[in-house]
Amino acid sequence: MDLIKKTIEKITPLDTAAMSLAQARQNNLTKPPGSLGMLEALSIKIAGITGKEMPKIERKTIITMAGDHGVTEEGVSAYPREVTSQMVFNFLSGGAGINVLARHVGASVTIVDMGIACDMHDDPRLVNRKIGFGTKNMACQSAMTREQAIKSVEAGIRVVEEAAEDGLDIVGTGDMGIGNTTASAAITSVVTGISPFEATGRGTGIESSAFERKVRVIEKALSMNNPDASDGLDVLLKVGGFEIGGITGVIIGAAANKIPVVIDGYISGAAALIACLIAPQCKDYLIASHLSVERGHKAVLNHLNLKPILNMDLRLGEGSGAALAISIAEAACKILDEMATFEDANVSEKSA
């Protein structure tokens, strides 16, 4: 726990002085105050996160964590477990949705093996932080040990800190793991207090019978493991996933380094719930990219008091929504930085 504790100690409140200066500049730009809505609020929040009056978003990356889930043994997904490793190869070759969208917004993509259930070939494009060959079946036992949960969070911290060594202005989180909407629904139910039925969605597109089975599996897992809703690590180890732990670490590590974190959909949201239990102060560093079709995601965002930037019926994962929202965050900061003030443009301000 030493790395986690030391990282949490580095997280500071948002820089209110930078936010005040950013707000004052927004009020003096050539537009009616507040007319750019969320763009204005987003730029001010990023100023507070970074401590810079006029922050720039230039160095961007998506960190996509991959891991398998033992709960797939219960038939909770429309796809077999092998799809996790197959999709990771697709990521590495640049052919997946996240690759296209990251290229579109000028972001790099870091792919991390947190717990794929097979040996992956050595590849310099793949970061190996494997905790195990997939989690255990949470419907029968805890998904992982406490030691594994700690290691997964620590791995995420190290990955984002390594990414930040060459400079990083913003990070997006992404995931790949067949079965991880089941884990995310379980986490959401525990932390937000909604029922497993309310937290469960169709994931990869399961039919009604599989959906009903998925709800029963989550109910069984929660009943058997009884995760402590006040202890993020306990929730993670009992019903989480290695990639969810990794995303948790990315969030905590980014907050400690004053880097805005754009969280993707349901899986990243579940990780954010855990991160905010472990380190409540990291909540201020979160930016919600979109509202997922997964119905439990709304409860996640409400619990975190986050307003999503986009609502486009997305449910792919991978970091796809985060990539799109990073583009919006960059635009928000460019408005703050590049738009002329009334004085600069010799434009008359609103009369008193």
Q: Which percentage of the chain shows pLDDT scores above 70?
A: 99
The predicted pLDDT at position 111 comes to 98
The predicted pLDDT at position 132 comes to 97
The predicted pLDDT at position 352 comes to 55
Spatial separation of the C-alpha atoms in residues 272 and 279, rounded to whole Å: 10
- 179 within 8 A of 87, measured Cβ to Cβ: no
**Residue 265 predicted with pLDDT over 80:** yes
Spatial separation of the C-alpha atoms in residues 6 and 27, rounded to whole Å: 38
**Residue 344 predicted with pLDDT over 90:** no
Threshold 0.75, pTM exceeds:
yes
Q: Which of 182-191, 200-209, 305-314, 317-326 has the lowest mean pLDDT?
A: 200-209
At 272-328, the pLDDT tens digits run 999 999 999 999 999 999 999 999 999 999 999 999 999 999 999 999 999 999 999
* Domain range summary for the chain, segments of one domain joined by +: 2-55+336-345, 60-329
Q: List, by residue number, the catalytic residues.
A: 318
Which CATH topology does 2-55+336-345 take? 1.10.1610
Nearest to 7 by CA among 274, 258, 306: 258
Architecture of the domain made up of 60-329: 3-Layer(aba) Sandwich (3.40)
* Pairing outcome for strands 126-128 and 108-115: parallel
β-bridge mates for residue 176, sequence order: 66
